[in-house]
Chains A and B, each alone.
Chain A
Amino acid sequence: GQNIDQPTEMTATEGAIVQINCTYQTSGFNGLFWYQQHAGEAPTFLSYNVLDGLEEKGRFSSFLSRSKGYSYLLLKELQMKDSASYLCAVSPRTDSWGKLQFGAGTQVVVTP
C-alpha cells in the first residue's frame, strides 16, 4: 500500500531545534512538500524537495533522501508561533500534480 508516516506529536522549548521525520512509500514520486497548519486555518506551504539533499529557508530546512523514502523538516530557533501541525505530503504522479498524498501531521508544541 501507500503510506506516509510521521510522528503524532513533538514538544520542544522556545529557542530549541526540532526535527520532524517523514517516511513514505508511494507508487511513484514527483516531489515532497511540507505544510504548516495552525488550528482552524489553511495549510500554508513551507518547502518542496524533489532532489536529494537539504533545502534551507531561514529558520526552516527540509531534507530528502529518495533512496530511503525519507524526509525531515528542521525548525530552528523555535518561537511560540511555531506551535502548529506540520504536514508531510508526496506528489506521487507526474500526470496529476494536484493529487498530493498527506501524512496525518505532526503537532508541534512549543513551550516557554
Chain B
Amino acid sequence: EAGVTQFPSHSVIEKGQTVTLRCDPISGHDNLYWYRRVMGKEIKFLLHFVKESKQDESGMPNNRFLAERTGGTYSTLKVQPAELEDSGVYFCASSRGGGQDYGYTFGSGTRLTVV
C-alpha cells in the first residue's frame, strides 16, 4: 500500500505570508495526526482527526494554525500569517484504528522555513 504522502517536502516563505501543507493518509485510515518538530526539540503533537472530525486539537499553538480534513480523506494545515517560530518539520501520520497494533505510519514531513 502507498504510504503517507506530504506535500511540499520543503517550503521557504517570508514572515507574514501564508503556507498550506497537505497530507494524504493511507487509504482507509480514519485517523490522521499532525505533529511538528522545531529545531533542537522533540516532535510535538498538534491535532488528531477521526475521519473529518477533530478529535483532539489541544496541541495547536495558536489561531494562526488551521487544519481541515474535508471528506475525511486528505488534510491540510494552513499557517496564516507565518511567524519565524513556526519554522520546523511538520509530520503527518495515519492509523486505521488505535495505533498500538499498527504503530502509526508517518509521512516524511514538510520542512517549513520562515525567513
Q: Contact check: which of B4, B41, B43, B95 meets A98 at CB < 8 Å? A: B95
- Interface assignment of B1: CB less than 8 Å from any CB of chain A: no
Q: Considering only CB atoms and an 8 Å cut-off, how many residues of chain B contact the other chain? A: 31
**Which A residues between 32 and 66 are near B, CB-CB below 8 angstroms?**
33, 35, 40-46, 48, 50
A98 with B42: CB separation less than 8 A: no
Given A41-B108, A42-B91: A96 and B48 interface contact (C-beta under 8 Å): yes
B106 with A101: CB separation less than 8 A: no
- Interface assignment of A83: CB less than 8 Å from any CB of chain B: no
- Interface assignment of B63: CB less than 8 Å from any CB of chain A: no
Given A4-B42, A42-B109, A103-B42: A91 and B48 interface contact (C-beta under 8 Å): no
9 new A-B contacts at CB < 8 Å, known A4-B42, A99-B56: A31-B100, A33-B104, A35-B103, A42-B4, A89-B43, A97-B100, A98-B99, A102-B44, A105-B42
A104 with B41: CB separation less than 8 A: yes
- Interface assignment of A100: CB less than 8 Å from any CB of chain B: yes
Q: Which A residues lie at the B interface, using CB under 8 A? A: 4, 30-31, 33, 35, 40-46, 48, 50, 87, 89, 91, 96-105
CB proximity of B108 to chain A, nearest CB, Å? 5
- Interface assignment of B71: CB less than 8 Å from any CB of chain A: no
